[in-house]
Amino acid sequence: MLAIKIIEKIKNYLKIMISYKQSKQILKKSLIKIKDEYIHSDDSLNRVSSTNIISTTNYPSANNTAFDGFAVCSKDTKDLNKNNSKKFKIVGSIIPGNKPIIKKIKKFDAMEIMTGGVIPKPFDTIIPIEQIIFYPNKKEAKYIVINKKIKKNMHVRFLGSDYKKNDLIIKKGTIVHPNHILALKALGIKKVKVKKKLNILFFSTGNEISNHDNIPNWKVRNSNSHYIKSLGNHFLFNFINGGILKDNHEKIFKKQIKKMFNTKIDIIITSGAVSAGKFDFVPSVIKDFKLSNFFKKVAIRPGKPILFAKIRGKQKAIFGLPGNPISSAACFRFFVQPYIMDILGVPIEKPIKAILNNSYTKNNAFTHFTKCRLKSKHDGKLVIEVLKGQESFRIQSFVSSNIWSLFPSGKSKFLKGELVDCYFPNSYNNSLI
């Protein structure tokens, strides 16, 4: 009889939770809208392009040489060999950055040219300096001697061979990386259109939370706010620290939400006070507002008491993260971060597949986000080890980890050798694969 009651209690408990899959569907339907802006390409690092960025010019902008050497006309060499050499007169020198030389070129003329120098017509091929025979000698050379046929277009970088005018540089929805910056600057792109950064207002909650370094053992240092702040550059938002909400600050929190409606704040995130305890006021305060979408409690570990709400008629949203450090970190990574990327129009993240190096067992009904160590074996295969210390308060294993692994619901035992979906903790996987 007792066993039946326990089973029924578990069933009822599970009913009030939604699955991880369901939570993702709700988040997809609840995206807030943000505007675009034009910024200088110098400042576009880690921003998301809101349109395709197109080349406005050819690159290279002219035929130039890949080596220091001499430019000649290939047709002048067609009959040359070791038994039939020819002296080519040196008629000038081309230095990169100088205006291209325009002069009448005669048969059997040659022109000294440095790497990157624009090749004047009718020259069409380059002999590297290492292959040059000078006459009478290198110091007093007036001629170079060629004793073989030189193919056309040797060591020539052709106009538009890298980028042609109207070629795609950066695709819409791409996070701009240093490689992109190099391309933008090389191609003379001054301004780019990007998504505005989201403004996130963050609150820690609880009488136990302290901003001081020296604390008694009944207090907890405010680590979550610093962690979320540090993710701003990775996950493309402006962090605004709202401070600490005490256990009796329900009215203050409600006032902050109302205030958000008339400010540039896009998302409020809280840490703690989202469960079912006496002082967990966040859910009750949020439910006082008109909500278009809402969930509280997801069948995940760590982070089960996570909350989300979109304000009806407003481009505003609220996340309530658990207070335990690792629960908070996991929920940010698998709920807040994908939500931000969806708002910015970044394509859906692709997991990295890795081989499980040690077996893992969990509750069938829950999705688990686990702290793992990713490494490459001698055969090149990627393997992950599920670390000891998966509890949500354990920070040491989080520091030792370099990847999150996702073990989905619907299965309880994962055996060594199975492929597992993995996600980097502080970066978006799509940018790396």
b/e string for 230-252 if b means 16 or more Cβ within 10 A? ebeeebbbebebbebbebebbee
Q: What is the mean pLDDT of residues 247-264?
A: 88
The pLDDT of residue 212 is 78
The pLDDT of residue 236 is 84
Q: What is the mean pLDDT of residues 296-307?
A: 94
Domains of the chain: 18-35+196-344 (3.40.980.10), 39-59+161-194 (3.90.105.10), 64-157 (2.170.190.11), 352-431 (2.40.340.10)
275 or 291, greater pLDDT: 291
End-to-end CA distance of the chain: 54
Q: What is the pLDDT of residues 417-429, one digit of tens each?
A: 999 999 998 877 7
The pLDDT of residue 6 is 43
CA angle 171, 423, 416 (to 5 degrees): 140
The pLDDT of residue 9 is 45
* % of the chain residues with pLDDT over 90: 73
Query: Cβ(91)–Cβ(70) under 8 Å?
Result: no
Q: What is the pLDDT of residues 219-234, one digit of tens each?
A: 777 788 889 999 887 7
pLDDT band, residue 431 (cuts 50/70/90): low
- pTM higher than 0.75, yes or no? yes
The pLDDT of residue 412 is 96
